[in-house]
Structure 1
Amino acid sequence: MAMLNPTVTRAEIVERMTHDEFMEFAPEDRKAELIEGVMIVASPAFEPHEDLFGFLFAVLRSFTSQLKLGRVLGSRYAVYISETETYEPDILFVAADRAHLITEKKLTGAPDLVIEILSAGTARFDRGVKRENYDRAGVRELWLIDPYGPAGTQFYQRREGRLVEIAPVDGIINSVAIPGFKLNIAWLWPKEGGELPSPIAVLKELGVI
């Protein structure tokens, strides 16, 4: 059974596992993903990652719940891509008309929106093989967010059948997966010494409370 820390090189892989084996043996207390048949166990998250996760999860879950748009899940919920690929995105959204894909243990189709908060150990997977497989699976929108700043952050939306990188317009990403949701990228990186905005303040700004 292959189970690696993200820092282990591909040359050291000696065996692979199936999706069912991954679901059986993945640790309950750590984020783990099946990438090219290998279980990758993530290192513990740093504080900036957790702060950003908590903020985005609260805002997106409240927004979509208030407007009855669908379900927001994360970060230990599995997404089945193929027999060799099972991911646990930091945050995912599934539209209400596709809620039948949500089962107790995993999502059996592509999320509408995937958010990956990047870390040094896993960014190469998020930007590489995972992005490619999210594209093939039919994900409508992908945010790869660097918790330390905009330079390493990428936004993708599905256009003409594939995920295409887009740039914010006047500092705003208009979501194609969540109708009416406008991400102000200034929310993500407070000025030095500042804090992330209150989710309640953001929801008021978005006009849902």
Structure 2
Amino acid sequence: MEAAARRVEMMDLMSDEDFLILCGEDVKADLIGGVMVVQTPASFRHQRLERFLLSLLGMYVEEKGLGEVVASRMAVYLGRGYIFEPDILFVTTGRLDIIKETHVGGAPDLVVEILSSSSAYYDRGIKREIYERFGVKELWLLDPYGPEGTQFLVRKGERFEEAPMEGGIYRSQVIEGFWL
């Protein structure tokens, strides 16, 4: 049984610097509008799906020379008060300069969030809105318990729209030639 994500609220909103000092590398958390949201440890099913996708995406992207795939625990600075740690992210070759040693300084081209009972509320709600606002081109919200809860979202102008699937296959619009 998973516990809900915990919001850590302080008298004042937390600065980006305080968030990074408090979290370090040992705590999986997001800074959402200056409020720290700590995630519960991932389930086995979540970890297995993340490992599978990371391997699949990593090998494909490396073989084709399309950019970089990065696993969770890498801070993504989207804007002041908004630092997320997506499960998987992808940055195209032409934008690799946003990947620094300790963080990603801007919106990745693709973000993958694997849903859990503790994260789905944030992933489908405020995080989706923030990813959209700061220019993520493609967002996968994956339900490790089945395809019914999974969404593939792509940018159409300023907004995300649900991406079409053909015959149960989703074709990425950011990673050329990649499909699930």
TM superposition score category, shorter chain reference: over 0.9
Partner of 2:96: helix, strand, or coil?
helix
Structure 1-normalised TM-score? 0.80
Q: 2:115, 2:74 → 1: CA distance?
A: 17
- The one of 16, 38, 44 equivalent to 1:19 is 16
Give the equivalent residue in structure 2 for 1:50. 47
Give the equivalent residue in structure 1 for 2:122. 125
Structure 2-normalised TM-score? 0.93
- The one of 163, 167, 174 equivalent to 1:166 is 163
Supply the AA of the counterpart residue of 1:45. A
Aligned-residue offset at 1:161: 3.1
Q: 1:15, 1:45 → 2: CA distance?
A: 29
Q: 2:5, 2:133 → 1: CA distance?
A: 23
Partner of 2:17: helix, strand, or coil?
helix
Give the equivalent residue in structure 1 for 2:31. 34
Q: 1:161, 1:16 → 2: CA distance?
A: 28
Structure 2: stretches of 5+ with no match in the other structure: none
Q: 1:140, 1:175 → 2: CA distance?
A: 10
Aligned-residue offset at 1:13: 5.4
Larger Rg: 1
Give the equivalent residue in structure 2 for 1:146. 143
Structure 1: stretches of 5+ with no match in the other structure: 184-209
Aligned-residue offset at 1:168: 1.5
Supply the AA of the counterpart residue of 1:19. D
- The one of 90, 94, 99 equivalent to 2:91 is 94
Q: 2:45, 2:69 → 1: CA distance?
A: 21
Between 1:78-87 and 1:27-36, the stretch displaced more is 27-36
Aligned-residue offset at 1:27: 3.7
Give the share of equivalent positions with the same residue, in percent.
46
Aligned structure 1 segments of 4 or more residues deviating by more than 3 angstroms: 12-15
Q: 1:97, 1:127 → 2: CA distance?
A: 29
- Superposition RMSD in Å: 1.5
Supply the AA of the counterpart residue of 1:102. I
Q: 1:48, 1:22 → 2: CA distance?
A: 28
Whether the aligned pair in 2 keeps the contact of 1:112 and 1:141 (CA below 8 Å) is yes
Q: 1:161, 1:32 → 2: CA distance?
A: 27
Partner of 2:170: helix, strand, or coil?
strand
Give the equivalent residue in structure 2 for 1:136. 133
User: Deviations for 1:157-202, whole angstroms, at most 9, x for unmatched residues?
Assistant: 111332111232111111111011011xxxxxxxxxxxxxxxxxxx
Q: Does 1:156 align with 2:153?
A: yes
- CA 1:25–1:7 in 2, change beyond 3 Å: closer, same or farther? closer
Aligned-residue offset at 1:18: 1.1
- The one of 181, 196, 201 equivalent to 2:178 is 181
Give the equivalent residue in structure 1 for 2:65. 68
